[in-house]
Amino acid sequence: AQSVSQHNHHVILSEAASLELGCNYSYGGTVNLFWYVQYPGQHLQLLLKYFSGDPLVKGIKGFEAEFIKSKFSFNLRKPSVQWSDTAEYFCAVLGTGANNLFFGTGTRLTVIP
């Protein structure tokens, strides 16, 4: 069975601070990994995804994530956050052969100007 854990429930940062959001997954096979963002009042949008190849994935708006297979992790990072990054961030996993995404519980990021 698939599962995804996001240990940070709410992160508060000042502008220009660096960000790292944790994501760990459980699945006994090859996975596709995703980070989605949900801005206030808006729908989920894809930030970045990992299918194969280079484990360091760069996404939109300066975000990146690194897939560490040995740690079953796919942490999201951004070197310098902006107020506009305030949103809810969801990590998701799609196991090979599975049909649907499994989501973590989400991390609320609040960036203080």
Q: Report if residue 32 touches another protein, rule: CB under 8 A.
A: yes
**Contact between 63 and 45 (Cβ < 8 Å):** no
Decide if residue 50 touches another protein (CB under 8 A): no
User: Which of 28, 54, 70, 99 is in the footprint of another protein by CB under 8 A?
Assistant: 99
CA distance 66 to 87: 20
11 binds another protein (CB under 8 A): no
Binding status of residue 51 toward another protein by CB under 8 A = yes
Give 9's DSSP letter. S
Query: Which of the ranges 14-22, 34-42, 69-77, 78-86 carries the binding residues for another protein, by CB under 8 A?
Result: 34-42
Give me the DSSP letters along 36-92. EEE-TTS--EEEEEE-SS-SEEE-GGG-EEEEEGGGTEEEEEESS--GGG-EEEEEE
Residues lying near another protein in the complex (CB under 8 A): 9, 32, 34, 36, 42-46, 49, 51, 90, 92, 94, 99-106
